[in-house]
Structure 1
Amino acid sequence: MKISLDWLRTLIPTDKPAEEIGQLLTGSGLEVEGIEELESIPGGLRGVVLGTVLTCEKHPDADKLSLTTVDVGDATPRQIVCGAANVRAGLRVVVALEGATLYPAQGEPFKIKKSKIRGAASEGMICAEDEIGLGTSHAGIMELETELPNGTPAADYFGLGSDSVFEIGLTPNRADAASHYGVARELRALLRQPCHLPDVSQFHAPSEAAHNIGVLVEDAAAAPRYAGLLLENVQVGPSPEWLQRRLRSIGLSPINNVVDVTNFVLHELGQPLHAFDANQIMGGQIRVKRAAEGEKFVTLDGAERTLKGEDLVIADANGTPIALAGVFGGKTSGVSEATTRVFLESAYFNPAVVRKTSQTHQLKTDASFRFERGTDPHMVLVALKRAALLLQEVAGATIVAPVVDAYPTYIGHATVRLRLPRVEKLVGQYIAPERIRQILTDLDILIAEESQDEAGHTEWILSVPPHKVDVTREADVIEEILRIYGYNHVALRPHNAASFLAKFPNPDPEIIRQNTARLLSGQGFSEIITNSLTNSAYFEKGEERDETLVHILNYNSAELNVMRPTVLHSGLEVIRHNVNRRQRDLKLYEFGKTYHFVGGQYQEKNKLVIYLTGNAAAESWQQKSEKATFHQLASAVQQVLASLGFSAPTSQAVQHPYLAGGLTLLAQNQPVAHLGAVSGPVLKRLDVNQPVWYAELDWDWLTKKYKNSLVARELPKFPEVRRDLSLVVDKTVTFDQLQQIARRTEKKLLQQVNVFDIYEGENLGTDKKSYSVSFFLQDPTQTLTDQAIDGVMQRLIQQFEKQAGALIRK
């Protein structure tokens, strides 16, 4: 939400700088996410002042140039060369001084420098309106009529003061602050200064009229209050500059004076309005009713929508919808250049009804944003009168009928009980009752009754205005008190204590995650964070069954319509984006969630995924560039598993719908990681034109079964011994199988098994291959003897021959 400081100051007079106001608002719960400085024109006319031409003579070397002296408020007049035909002595002019940067209406910005023009020195520039961005005319320099002294900043003369715009991250519970007046009310309590509503005392409407637009509310529960006003002689056209400037300051584009007024009042008072072309309201009657199930309705954006029976609509006398109540207007009844009669709507709609319609039809507007959070029913007529007076001013409108106000049941203040001892208990600090009374008064919360309970403690019965939609309980009132009192004013006690001790998980999953992230980042991988929403078109039959996908009912984009069942596609989108920008060598990882609907239950799982694509290292003169390999990916995965306490996982051929080959690693007979090459069809579907290695780890299981693998051991005193074997086996036998055989055979002395060469050749046979394997043996208690070493190696050879059918090459 954007709030203009200049606009705010029309409601609460304050000379506090923007930074201080931003800190105050953030401290009270209206978080200011940023402050943007706005200028009416680029550059703000910095370095541009008013001056007077003292002398004007023809340039000695140029017929079309004049040599002038100009008083710009300095001790010495400046000599300026000017090419305008209308320059003359005595003229009040706009002068850009040396060092000023001008932003012309056409062309690029340029800086004023001291220069020589046809041999004559020029110390500035006398400006035309297009040269400083104030207009498009270049007929001559600007001729001013003013008594302001020379040297006065031109921005002051033209009223081009800058503005500060707050970007406020409004939380859903603060509907009361969704306007400039709402923020002004907040500052009233923080600054102890009065704020005021815009003056509507000049509003006058006839007590009766020959004709009017009637209002019939058929569902008072959905529309507790509905008011309207008929205006005629409306001249639709551009808004005046001040109104356009106000809207632009908060990021809105002016449309026409009628629509601009409704937008202005919405952002000023927080009350949405809607203007109907009264000539398009058939039968001269407004009906507020539920829609007929399945009926068609074309909204202002030109889209045809199928209405639900629960949608609240504004209809004409025939029951034909002309607007979705509180959400969006209809195309046929919108204000156009031909409009001369306007029916202005101001209403209070049930938040739940508006919220449901907005979600059903995927329509998010400034009006629905406020209605679905709760507006102030007491602001309905104030906003209506304010808009009517503005339309009289900017569109020549005439109020021709009395206000219609359908308000069958008055919405009064809520009643909340407040116990003063409870304030101290929840805040953790004593606050004087008079200070509490003052804060509540500044927040429009009145003390209706005062009493004492049986223990003699003070109790107040409070009257809470309806614009405080989130204040319904004692705890809510105490939160309001604490917000204004200031969290920073609550002192920390020397010995803080809690009434209970929370059970902290051991080990902490977040610390495990941070340690793993550091491990991967240290290996050159970069962490990415991607969207949990993805495109259902990515998933073909056989990969993810449609019934297991978690579909989004109110998606904003067809490309983000399901919760992702795998993290893979999100990462491939990142890879595609980078590859398309010639960043082809990527090492990425992500901690992400996946979502499925299985057996009537929604499942959310945590995954760690790793991507490797392109070259393993950057090309340099020291080494050739080599493509990333599966084994580099496997090494990274095994290091992660080892850091989590799973140092020797077993493996089997991968079974994964998106991989075209690879391994599945198992720990405790549980598949914990799938790694391999992403299949060609998946890469083609995501438009990734280079191979990608991918690993997916079951992060939930790994963190649940995490073992602290950091064990301190005394350094071995006795040397290790290496022995090598060359094993000829069938091609189907993997090194992992040989490694498992070795570890089962010798558990005490065998420290490490490593393959250092693989050979296949005709002399071995077409279905054979040879592994050259090294075995590292060590006894921590003594030096190994040849007899002990030979015994271990003989047992290993026997088991390799027996279990793997190995032939030992001599």
Structure 2
Amino acid sequence: MKVSLNWLNDYVDIGEVSPAELAEKITRSGIEVDAVDDRSEGLKNIVVGYVLECSKHPQADKLNVCRVDVGEEAPVQIICGAPNVAAGQHVVVARPGARLPGGIKIKKAKLRGEESHGMICSLQELGFDGKVVPKAYADGIYVLPESAEPGSDALAILGLDDTVLELDLTPNRADALSMLGVAYEAGAILSQEVKLPDTSHGETGDPASGMLNLRIDAPEANPLYGAKVVRNVKVGESPDWLKARLMAAGVRPLNNIVDVTNYVLIEYGQPLHAFDYDRLGTGEIVVRHAGEGETIVTLDGAERKLQPHHLLITNGREPVAIAGVMGGANSEVHDGTTSVVIEAAWFDPASVRRTSRELGLRSDASTRFEKGVDPNRVLAAGERAAALMEELAGGEVMAGTVLFDELDKEPVRVTVSPDFINERLGMKIPFEDMEKILGRLQFPYEAVNGLFVIDAPTRRGDIAIPEDIVEEIARLYGYDEIPKTLPVAESIPGGLNPYQAKRRVVRRFLEGAGLYQAITYSLTSEKEAQKFALDTAPVTKLLMPMSEERSTLRQSLLPHLLEAATYNTARQAGSVALYETGSVFLAEGADGLPVEVEHAAAVITGDWSGSEWQGSKRPVDFYAVKGIVEGMLDLLGLTGRLSFRKGEMAGLHPGRTADVLLDGERVGIIGQLHPSEQKARDLKDTVVMELNLEEVLRKENEPLLYRPVPKFPSVSRDVALVVTKPTESGTLESAIRSSAGNLLKEVRVFDVYEGDKMEEGMKSIAFSLTYQDPEHTLTDEEVTEVHHRVIEALEAEGAKVRS
């Protein structure tokens, strides 16, 4: 449900409460606000213009040269390509310096040799969804009413000086599928009265029953049906205020008659339907179930095959609507309509739901009917529609309502005691506060012998039992006011602290990546104790070891993991992937005991992936393990602080080893075992990784940020560089990122060449750079300027652009 605050303010005084504050209050009271949409955000310098002259562009058949009065001393020239622009129109003009949605800036420009001082706008260019733009203006500019003053603010006329709240309603809150329902909710929250719409209208002396007969053959499915007859209507466009409110609610304006029914549907939550009286042909409405094999062509142009339990509105001979779902094409209002029948009815929710589901046809009307509409608001909605048709279409409302009414409209009576409420909530709300809340909710009640006897308003169909009143009292009193208590039991369940939760995330990620967890000894030999250690310290030896092989506390997890890998490969396990999280023991603490630091390590040997039936396989390499580390730290929210540099460690390949840096500090290492080490352990190509897990998990996560999917295209530029062989690509990448600024979205190496065509001691590295701006489409000039800075930064690092 989309709620325009300008519209809502007609019924309840919001006062000085900001949209964000109101959204917060509504959410805290139990209805979640999904979005707060400031419709004027990003829009400025948008004015009304009057087209004085319009002629074809001398150099372009599809462009027009317009002289437009924008309220300044002299008219301005604007080039416009809209097919419907013409002299004598009041239009929306974005002046030079204006901003449009998406960050588009309007500047003075030349189009095919003719100057253009601004832009004549369509509704889509102002941020309207194309689905709600009137069809007459779907492919061109929007034409304002003649009363619009040139130079005045166009946003108010279009309803863009507004904020729309998008409510995520639960099924029980069908009352909030209407502006009045939301008004009652806001009134209760803000302690304000609700002002109901004016339904008064004139009446001709002729009774409506003289023109229309009504018969209900299925009263169990349609116990209430009211019909108003309005003559001498003039079908045309609705006024701008009405169109603006419908579009804000996500409804496309069609004509003043249909728009009134849609307006009242949103206002009251009561679906209405307007029939062309002359197209009915019989002066009669009969509500009955469908016959076997009967069909109807609905307003969407589709032929629907009906079943005997489907409820129909007919003219006595043939169907003219599917009750509560959609009207028929044979009775719809058109430009030549002069007399209208307004249907205001209550249909059985189960019947409407079944019909809608079986026909695969959902509409705004069926959505409301199947959840249940207020029986005491049905006829009022019909009167409101008649009043608006009299006002906006010049209609004459015939006296009275053609009515069938067997519907029980009595409110549900709920009796509840204050003690019952407080007992269920575990708190003590004073009796007087409960009375005030019921008054704010506008629930009629009596206090009798210490009990609340409440007549739940029929607009609130979700109020039926005492527990419902408990919920209403709690949410208006404030869920935050409910006291917090610990459960009383012999043992209170515990939970994971943040560090433990992160460690569990790491384990699950490594297992998800295909590694098996290993648990190895903390004790090793003195020879192996410091091998592959990230940080070394004096070793801790046992006074009375069981064996020399288990005499010393380890300072790295890798030696034992490599032993496990050798053990498994010796038993025909060709590919092994193991990880471990555990403690290493460094130096001696203040208490004389060694300091334990938790590490995470992994060993992968053999094939990383493969498919025997396709005859393909991929041996593990450095980059597979590097990707695991990147993925793990990404899951921990640390990606932006992660980097790598060339590393060295005894036992690892000198050209395939990298230090892992977090915030510039070394926290781990990745590398392939040295060939001699692999041979000694009887292993194939093996890649290892070890991280100081404790230091990683103690880092604070970066806040999670969501960015919209880019609307504008990216631009790619490639650059090939000649550098000395020792130069690292990471150094060049850092220079690129630091010089390119925010427009650079991605940089990657796509080619490295060290062939005979290069000078001795030199190599070529080629980068692909992707530039993108989330606010607009980049121009060649903008990209060239940034790319030039990148080249300068690379040259400062000693690189030469390869020609």
Per-residue deviation at 1:45?
3.5
Counterpart of 2:244 in structure 1 is 245
Q: How does 1:681-696 map to 2 (within 5 A)?
A: none
Contact 1:44–1:160 (CA under 8 A) maintained in structure 2: no
CA–CA separation in structure 2 for the residues paired with 1:335 and 1:144: 29
Name the aligned partner's letter for residue 212 of structure 1.
Answer: M
Counterpart of 2:352 in structure 1 is 354
Counterpart of 1:659 in structure 2 is none
1:519/1:254 CA distance change after superposition, 3 Å: same
Per-residue deviation at 1:392?
1.4
Contact 1:45–1:154 (CA under 8 A) maintained in structure 2: no
CA–CA separation in structure 1 for the residues paired with 2:453 and 2:147: 66
Contact 1:44–1:162 (CA under 8 A) maintained in structure 2: no
Per-residue deviation at 1:409?
3.8
Partner SS, residue 392 of structure 2: helix
Name the aligned partner's letter for residue 414 of structure 1.
Answer: V
Counterpart of 1:271 in structure 2 is 270
Name the aligned partner's letter for residue 26 of structure 2.
Answer: L
Contact 1:315–1:323 (CA under 8 A) maintained in structure 2: yes
CA–CA separation in structure 2 for the residues paired with 1:634 and 1:337: 79
Contact 2:264–2:384 (CA under 8 A) maintained in structure 1: yes
Counterpart of 1:323 in structure 2 is 321
CA–CA separation in structure 2 for the residues paired with 1:334 and 1:429: 57
CA–CA separation in structure 2 for the residues paired with 1:466 and 1:230: 27
Counterpart of 2:509 in structure 1 is 518
Give 5+ residue unaligned stretches, structure 1. 51-69, 73-78, 85-93, 147-151, 452-457, 525-632, 644-674, 681-689, 694-753, 758-810
CA–CA separation in structure 1 for the residues paired with 2:295 and 2:448: 56
Counterpart of 1:461 in structure 2 is 453
CA–CA separation in structure 2 for the residues paired with 1:500 and 1:404: 69
Name the aligned partner's letter for residue 480 of structure 2.
Answer: N
Counterpart of 1:8 in structure 2 is 8
Name the aligned partner's letter for residue 23 of structure 1.
Answer: E
Partner SS, residue 292 of structure 1: coil
Counterpart of 2:463 in structure 1 is 471
Per-residue deviation at 1:315?
1.7
Say whether residues 1:26 and 2:27 are aligned partners: yes
Partner SS, residue 227 of structure 2: strand
Name the aligned partner's letter for residue 454 of structure 2.
Answer: L
Contact 2:421–2:470 (CA under 8 A) maintained in structure 1: yes
Quick one: which of 471, 476, 487 aligns to 2:479? 487
Contact 1:205–1:402 (CA under 8 A) maintained in structure 2: no
Contact 1:48–1:97 (CA under 8 A) maintained in structure 2: yes
Partner SS, residue 246 of structure 2: helix
Per-residue deviation at 1:71?
12
Partner SS, residue 389 of structure 1: helix
Deviations 1:161-199 (A, max 9, x none): 511111111110001111111111001110011111111
Partner SS, residue 381 of structure 1: helix
Partner SS, residue 221 of structure 1: coil
Contact 1:213–1:284 (CA under 8 A) maintained in structure 2: yes
Counterpart of 2:285 in structure 1 is 286
Partner SS, residue 343 of structure 1: strand
Greater CA deviation, 400-409 or 27-36?
400-409
Deviations 1:697-747 (A, max 9, x none): xxxxxxxxxxxxxxxxxxxxxxxxxxxxxxxxxxxxxxxxxxxxxxxxxxx
Per-residue deviation at 1:264?
0.7
Per-residue deviation at 1:237?
2.0
CA–CA separation in structure 1 for the residues paired with 2:349 and 2:183: 24
Q: How does 1:126-145 map to 2 (within 5 A)?
A: none
Name the aligned partner's letter for residue 170 of structure 1.
Answer: L
Deviations 1:662-691 (A, max 9, x none): xxxxxxxxxxxxx996999xxxxxxxxx99
Counterpart of 1:390 in structure 2 is 388
Name the aligned partner's letter for residue 4 of structure 1.
Answer: S
Counterpart of 2:539 in structure 1 is none
CA–CA separation in structure 2 for the residues paired with 1:260 and 1:281: 20
Counterpart of 2:165 in structure 1 is 166
Contact 2:222–2:348 (CA under 8 A) maintained in structure 1: yes
Counterpart of 1:798 in structure 2 is none
Deviations 1:143-164 (A, max 9, x none): 9979xxxxx9745896865111
CA–CA separation in structure 2 for the residues paired with 1:256 and 1:236: 7
1:512/1:382 CA distance change after superposition, 3 Å: farther
Contact 1:49–1:97 (CA under 8 A) maintained in structure 2: no
Q: How does 1:644-659 map to 2 (within 5 A)?
A: none
1:98/1:212 CA distance change after superposition, 3 Å: closer
Partner SS, residue 336 of structure 1: coil
Per-residue deviation at 1:12?
1.1
Say whether residues 1:220 and 2:219 are aligned partners: yes
Q: How does 1:778-797 map to 2 (within 5 A)?
A: none
Deviations 1:754-777 (A, max 9, x none): 9979xxxxxxxxxxxxxxxxxxxx
CA–CA separation in structure 2 for the residues paired with 1:370 and 1:378: 15
Counterpart of 2:486 in structure 1 is 496
Say whether residues 1:399 and 2:397 are aligned partners: yes
CA–CA separation in structure 1 for the residues paired with 2:269 and 2:617: 52
CA–CA separation in structure 1 for the residues paired with 2:240 and 2:21: 29
Counterpart of 2:107 in structure 1 is 111
Quick one: which of 370, 377, 385 aligns to 1:372? 370
Partner SS, residue 316 of structure 2: coil
Counterpart of 2:39 in structure 1 is 38
Contact 1:27–1:487 (CA under 8 A) maintained in structure 2: yes
Per-residue deviation at 1:511?
11
Deviations 1:200-257 (A, max 9, x none): 1335464735732222122222112111111121222222211111111122111111
Deviations 1:1-28 (A, max 9, x none): 2111111111112232110110111111
Contact 1:413–1:464 (CA under 8 A) maintained in structure 2: yes
Greater CA deviation, 438-447 or 21-30?
438-447
CA–CA separation in structure 1 for the residues paired with 2:490 and 2:205: 67
Q: How does 1:626-645 map to 2 (within 5 A)?
A: none
Per-residue deviation at 1:420?
0.8
Counterpart of 1:585 in structure 2 is none
1:47/1:404 CA distance change after superposition, 3 Å: closer
Partner SS, residue 431 of structure 1: coil
The count of aligned residue pairs is 485
1:184/1:519 CA distance change after superposition, 3 Å: same
Per-residue deviation at 1:265?
0.7
Per-residue deviation at 1:126?
8.2
Per-residue deviation at 1:316?
1.8
Partner SS, residue 283 of structure 1: coil
Counterpart of 1:446 in structure 2 is 444
Contact 2:94–2:119 (CA under 8 A) maintained in structure 1: no
1:501/1:283 CA distance change after superposition, 3 Å: farther
CA–CA separation in structure 1 for the residues paired with 2:147 and 2:201: 39
Per-residue deviation at 1:334?
1.6
Counterpart of 1:186 in structure 2 is 185
Say whether residues 1:411 and 2:412 are aligned partners: no
Per-residue deviation at 1:33?
0.5
Counterpart of 1:338 in structure 2 is 336
Contact 1:423–1:478 (CA under 8 A) maintained in structure 2: yes
CA–CA separation in structure 1 for the residues paired with 2:309 and 2:444: 37
TM-score (norm 2): 0.53
CA–CA separation in structure 1 for the residues paired with 2:574 and 2:341: 70
Give 5+ residue unaligned stretches, structure 2. 50-69, 79-91, 127-136, 516-572, 582-608, 619-680, 685-803
- Percent identity over paired residues: 35
TM-score (norm 1): 0.52
Q: How does 1:605-624 map to 2 (within 5 A)?
A: none
Counterpart of 1:261 in structure 2 is 260
CA–CA separation in structure 2 for the residues paired with 1:192 and 1:369: 30
Contact 1:101–1:111 (CA under 8 A) maintained in structure 2: no
Counterpart of 1:231 in structure 2 is 230
1:130/1:266 CA distance change after superposition, 3 Å: closer
CA–CA separation in structure 1 for the residues paired with 2:331 and 2:613: 55
Partner SS, residue 372 of structure 1: helix
Contact 2:445–2:452 (CA under 8 A) maintained in structure 1: yes
1:340/1:137 CA distance change after superposition, 3 Å: closer
Name the aligned partner's letter for residue 226 of structure 1.
Answer: Y
Name the aligned partner's letter for residue 480 of structure 1.
Answer: E
